[in-house]
Amino acid sequence: MCGGSINIARNNSKKGFHSLNHFVNKISNTNVILDAPNRYDLAAFLCVNEEVKVFNSRLYKLLKIQKHVQIKNMGTYREHYITHGLHMNRSGKDWSVHNLARLIKKIFLLN
């Protein structure tokens, strides 16, 4: 699952934490990979991306006891997004898929 940056910017983090916690507790037999990506559609001086970092950090602390959950910072770059900066372009999607595939292989090798 990758997303939620718009809701984080709208101060809906608590609702997101509650929903994600409920979701991962409900599906304990399925591996889950979570990430809230940076936003490149806003000016760099705005605090939204800092809030995204805080959200991911809190999410990690909340869910680290769950063995089937991994918080993966995709660490994308501006060049991975289309002009307006909110949605990924082709190279960003390819880059993300490559990193997710590597993580999935790692999960299966450990289990």
Residue-wise pLDDT for 89-102, tens only, equals 999 889 888 988 88
In DSSP terms, which residues pair with 35 in a beta bridge? 2
**In contact, 59 and 12? CB cutoff 8 Å:** no
- Average pLDDT over all residues of the chain: 81
pTM as predicted: 0.72
Give the residue-averaged pLDDT of 1-13. Answer: 72
* Tokens describing residue 21: 């916690």
Give the residue-averaged pLDDT of 53-59. Answer: 84
**In contact, 71 and 109? CB cutoff 8 Å:** no
Q: What is the pLDDT of residue 75?
A: 67
Residue among 76, 69, 81 at smallest CA distance from 99: 76
Residue 37: how many CB atoms within 10 A of its CB? 22
Which CATH topology does 5-110 take? Rossmann fold (3.40.50)
